[in-house]
Structure 1
Amino acid sequence: MGELSQENAPIYEALENLRKMRVVPFDVPGHKRGRGNPELTRLLGEQCMNMDVNSMKPLDNLCHPVSVIKEAEELAAEAFGAAHAFLMVGGTTSSVQSMILSVAKRGEKIILPRNVHRSVIGAMVLCGAVPVYVNPQCSQRLGIPLGMSVEDVKRAIEENPDAKAVLVNNPTYYGICSDIRSIVKLAHEHGMYCLADEAHGTHFYFSDKLPVSAMEAGADMAAVSMHKSGGSLTQSSLLLTGPGISTGHVRQIINLTQTTSGSYLLMSSLDISRRNLALRGKETFEKVMELAEYARSEINEIPGFYAFSRELINGDSVFDFDVTKLSVHTLEVGLAGIEVYDLLRDEYDIQIEFGDFGNVLAYLSIGDRKRDIERLVSALSEISRRFGKEKVDLLEQEYIPPHVAVSPQEAFYAPKESLSLKECVGRICSEFVMCYPPGIPLLAPGEQVTQPIVEHIVYAKEKGCTLTGPEDEKIRYLNVLKGVEG
């Protein structure tokens, strides 16, 4: 890397040099630095449009980096303690899918929790890998899936010694962490890779007061959503690899699905954000933790709301907790999480990350301010007073253990028919059904449709959850395998 240090942002610096050169563009994109699309230029600004350029020699090429992108990746690897880092412009979905495709082929097994993001199962549809689920333990009070028990992972490994990898959420959407160090050790002792979905754990790399990061725990690969808590633009991500992974092989896998026209807006945002975190991340996330703890203490004074934290830690299925996650249980106030989510937006102009049946999540990161926290706390206090009622019998169980009948790939591509939800019970689903966010499937291709799952879907619709996945826009029908019972 020569003279480069974490003070540098090679891609951004190359773009600045290009801007000063006043190069006449006879290449794509066709808006030609914004001149061809004045309305879009007014919306995004001239500087943004000037930096929306194509790959060229001074700017390197994302498919085969040899200069500034390569330097940016090396700096990112150094900042995150990885052997290598890939800049990803297809979101962390692309990072997760590249991880899976790099280690597993058709018919090969991956051990994983069922509360994975749809991108994990989507990767299995693409490569034909077979999931072996470790059903996460659940908190009956909160109605949320927890982490994976080390003993459950050990049992799955012993029962499936031919599995290629173990995948861990580090953390879950709610901030819950499994014992990733022990799981990495187990996987490696049995000749398996350990992969981490770290979509919600970017900040773990920049504080010793937060749970351990995947790379520090010895994981082989980690997908990191820089755009979530790291400050880069939406859809930008990092794929980190450890020393035992072939960089060239992973690059080939990435290039199967990632665009050949990598956005320099996204790449420069990764470059600048990495620099910011490397130089100021520790103090920045210290402030985020302080804000979250302040918010929790205030919310826990409001009747009916419970902002949970490290008190959930039990040394196993909740091995650690990400205190930057402001997760709030709502059922004691007589409202489903999705109802609180809607009230905050519709009555108080506050947009939080998501609401499920019993909880809401306010996502705190480097851009939050104390006065915004105070506004949220005030709104929740008013909601408790204005809309709170006696706790009612709401559907609390968020996690329904699946019955996997066939592999995701086999189900996705099999002949299918469309049936009403009621008629689907007992049949094998060929598509996804999920509440989004968080994008964790209620049903995935290859799983049997059961009565509790149908009730779950109907209840989610009634409560106003945003359901996605099926071909039928109104989720009245599902595609199931034709002529096949579960």
Structure 2
Amino acid sequence: MTQLSQQKAPIMEALTRYKSKRVVPFDVPGHKRGRGNKELTDFLGEECLTMDVNSMKPLDNLCHPVSVIAEAEVLAAEAFGAKHAFFMVNGTTSAVQAMIMTACKSGEKIIMPRNVHRSAINSLIISGAIPIYVNPGVDKDLGIPLGMSLSDVKRAIEENLDAKAILINNPTYYGICSNMKAITDLAHLHGMLVLVDEAHGTHFYFGKDLPASAMSVGADMASVSMHKSGGSLTQSSFLLINNNVSVGYTRQIINLTQTTSGSYLLLSSLDISRKNLALNGEEIFQKVSDMAQYTRDEINKINGYYAFSKELLNGDTIFDFDVTKLSVHTLDIGLAGVEVYDILRDEYDIQIEFGDLGNLLAYISVGDRHRDLERLVAALAEIKRRYGKEKNGLFDQEYINPEVVMTPQEAFYSPKDRLPISESAGNVSSEFVMCYPPGIPIVAPGERITEEILAYIEYCKEKGCFLTGTEDNQIEFINIVRE
């Protein structure tokens, strides 16, 4: 392959060439460049619909790329410092699942923190891999799960020397980073692959003075949500591999679940966004860091909120902090994070990323404007004045250590009974209950339901958290493993 430049965007350029040829389409999609669906074309725009095309020789094929997609993969790998990069159009969920399924077969162990995204536990249901959970550290003041302690990881490895891999969640939704380099070196010392769910860490590869990226510390695989901080379209991500992980085998695993009709809108957005970050990423993320720090400083002038940052570092479970994240503790104004989230949306027309029981997260990117940051700060000050109260009776934790009784796959496919959720304590859950976002399970398949968990779920309902995961859409019943 000829030397490629980060100035190029091979998929975008191929689409532009194809469009200029005015090819008559007797293939799918059936809207035929938008002509067959006027309302859709009016809504999304003719330019968009003309780029929504099918795989063909000039445009390559995502399942087995040999030309423009293959070139785009080379450029992405180079930009991220990886051996290879795969374009993922089923979201980072499919990238996480592909990592775990590449590393582990049915019955093989994987070490992971319990505060993983549901996609990681879903992959255990699909693959039959066995989780060895490491409980994350917990900040009792903020009520948030942290990273994994190196000593806890060491213990898990020594007690499970037959484990095939370890999964690191880095950074967490709140911006907390584990000691990835030390964990990676320790895992490699024992012949284990290191997989990193880096959904919220795209910018680590391009910004200056940000936490270490997975590839930079020698991790074997990483799933990267370009659509979060990287600027591509929703549902588009990269799966990066390193070291001795097989390109061919990983692609086979990806093709087990990823669509055979890869969207060229998503593919080209990844290609264009990679080019933008490779050329301008350092400048972009310096601006984002500066905006986040400015907003953090202004929020911390409002008595009662705490926008936290690197002052939390402890050298272990909070090894580093992502300063682009605007994470704000709200309990001292007497409101749960999700209550502030709802007020911001319903009364101030401000949509932030998420609010949970104690904190909220505003996602800041280069697309934000200074006046929008000022509006957020002013709204938070006014919410405190209008709604602030004593914090009595508020839950102060975001993580409950689980009692794991059986594997997620075994529990999910077991014969099951349906119980009112209020009467389910003592039973083993065969399904998830979680708040979304962030999508970290309160209880997962194979875990025992406790009174503490039920109280937590009820409190989440009272505070307006969006609960999901159960077969029952109202979260009033739960499926339990039949005794």
TM-score w.r.t. length of structure 2: 0.99
Residue 100 of structure 2 is aligned to residue 76 of structure 1: no
- 1:199 equivalent in structure 2: 199
- 1:91 equivalent in structure 2: 91
d(CA) in 2 for partners of 1:451, 1:72: 51
The one-character-per-residue Cα deviations of 1:246-296 (angstroms, maximum 9, x if unpaired) are: 000000000000000000000000000000000000000000000000000
d(CA) in 1 for partners of 2:366, 2:115: 27
Cα pair 1:230 1:366 within 8 Å, conserved: no
- Deviation for aligned residue 1:243: 2.2
Which 4+ stretches in 1 moved above 2 angstroms?
Answer: none
- 1:161 equivalent in structure 2: 161
The equivalences for 1:7-406 within 5 A come to 7-406=7-406
d(CA) in 1 for partners of 2:284, 2:369: 12
Q: Which runs of 5+ in 1 are unaligned?
A: none
d(CA) in 2 for partners of 1:275, 1:208: 17
Q: Supply the AA of the counterpart residue of 2:302.
A: I
- Deviation for aligned residue 1:421: 1.4
d(CA) in 1 for partners of 2:425, 2:446: 14
Cα pair 2:428 2:481 within 8 Å, conserved: yes
d(CA) in 2 for partners of 1:106, 1:282: 42
What SS does the corresponding residue of 2:87 show, helix, strand or coil?
strand
The one-character-per-residue Cα deviations of 1:51-110 (angstroms, maximum 9, x if unpaired) are: 000000000000000000000000000000000000000000000000000010111111
Q: Supply the AA of the counterpart residue of 2:314.
A: N
d(CA) in 2 for partners of 1:365, 1:480: 42
- Deviation for aligned residue 1:123: 0.3
d(CA) in 2 for partners of 1:70, 1:224: 18
d(CA) in 2 for partners of 1:86, 1:371: 38
Q: Supply the AA of the counterpart residue of 2:400.
A: I
What SS does the corresponding residue of 2:480 show, helix, strand or coil?
strand
Identity of aligned residues (%): 69
Q: Supply the AA of the counterpart residue of 1:287.
A: K
What SS does the corresponding residue of 1:427 show, helix, strand or coil?
coil
Cα pair 2:331 2:391 within 8 Å, conserved: yes
Cα pair 2:172 2:200 within 8 Å, conserved: yes
What SS does the corresponding residue of 1:47 show, helix, strand or coil?
helix
- Deviation for aligned residue 1:3: 4.1
d(CA) in 2 for partners of 1:435, 1:347: 22
What SS does the corresponding residue of 2:428 show, helix, strand or coil?
strand
Q: Which runs of 5+ in 2 are unaligned?
A: none
d(CA) in 2 for partners of 1:390, 1:461: 20
The one-character-per-residue Cα deviations of 1:431-479 (angstroms, maximum 9, x if unpaired) are: 1111000000011111111111111111101110000110111111100
What SS does the corresponding residue of 1:429 show, helix, strand or coil?
coil
- 2:471 equivalent in structure 1: 471
The one-character-per-residue Cα deviations of 1:393-450 (angstroms, maximum 9, x if unpaired) are: 2111110001111111111111111101122111110111110000000111111111
- Deviation for aligned residue 1:367: 1.3
- Deviation for aligned residue 1:2: 1.1
d(CA) in 2 for partners of 1:126, 1:11: 32
Residue 429 of structure 2 is aligned to residue 420 of structure 1: no
What SS does the corresponding residue of 2:133 show, helix, strand or coil?
strand
- Deviation for aligned residue 1:370: 1.2
Cα pair 2:416 2:430 within 8 Å, conserved: yes
The one-character-per-residue Cα deviations of 1:209-266 (angstroms, maximum 9, x if unpaired) are: 1000000011000000000000000000000000210000000000000000000000
TM-score w.r.t. length of structure 1: 0.99
The one-character-per-residue Cα deviations of 1:160-208 (angstroms, maximum 9, x if unpaired) are: 0001111101100000000000000000000000100000000000023
Q: Supply the AA of the counterpart residue of 1:373.
A: L
- 1:481 equivalent in structure 2: 481
d(CA) in 2 for partners of 1:56, 1:276: 26
- Deviation for aligned residue 1:379: 0.4
Cα pair 2:208 2:286 within 8 Å, conserved: no
Q: Supply the AA of the counterpart residue of 2:101.
A: L
Instruction: Tell me the number of residue pairs that the alignment of Structure 1 and Structure 2 aligns.
Output: 483
d(CA) in 1 for partners of 2:63, 2:309: 42
d(CA) in 2 for partners of 1:314, 1:242: 29
